[in-house]
């Protein structure tokens, strides 16, 4: 697939650079564009929702599956992809978010009320842990 198959399903699409766009995410009530789309030279399509929606959620809302992000022709051997974070860095991040969730659970068990800011931060922690899982599973 080319990025066009996904972009044609989005509202508020704006090109931000060569082979790069941003549009409204279909997986949540998006009032301003938060979904970044990039088509690589080899035909693969990368997507990222800055609100935290997962790839499967986005593709499902668009009526597409995971295979839609890859070209029909097999990708040849190219140069090695450099990952932005090492597995150890990811584990440190997940451990921090899990500790935050554990502290929140302990406070709730003791009857301590959470502020709205704390609830939002706990929601962010859950999203980051789920995103790490999706990345680890290659989704």
> What tens digit of pLDDT does each residue of 111-123 get?
999 999 999 999 9
59, 102: one domain: no
Share of the chain above pLDDT 70, in %: 88
Q: Which residues make Cβ contacts (< 8 Å) with residue 41, sequence separation at least 6?
A: none
Same domain, 93 and 127: yes
Q: What is the pTM of this model?
A: 0.52
How far is it, in rounded angstroms, from Cα 45 to Cα 72? Answer: 12
Domain that holds residue 62: 3-69
CA 80 to chain CA centroid, Å, is: 22
Domain match, 33 and 64 both: yes
- Whether 59 and 104 map to the same domain: the answer is no
C-alpha span between 34 and 48 (Å, rounded): 8
Digit-coded pLDDT (tens) for 60-106: 898 888 888 887 765 555 666 666 667 788 888 899 999 999 999 99
């Amino acid at each position: 697939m080319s990025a066009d198959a996904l972009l044609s399903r989005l509202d508020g699409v704006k090109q931000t650079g060569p082979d790069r766009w941003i549009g409204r995410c279909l997986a949540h009530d998006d009032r301003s564009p938060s979904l970044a789309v990039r088509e690589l030279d080899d035909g693969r399509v990368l997507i990222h929702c800055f609100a935290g929606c997962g790839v499967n959620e986005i593709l499902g809302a668009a009526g597409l599956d995971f295979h839609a992000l890859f070209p029909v022709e097999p990708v040849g051997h190219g140069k090695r992809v450099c990952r932005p974070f090492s597995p150890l860095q990811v584990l440190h991040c997940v451990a921090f978010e899990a500790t935050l969730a554990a502290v929140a659970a302990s406070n709730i068990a003791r009857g301590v009320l959470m502020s709205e800011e704390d609830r939002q931060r706990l929601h962010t922690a859950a999203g980051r842990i789920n995103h790490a899982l999706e990345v680890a599973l290659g989704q």
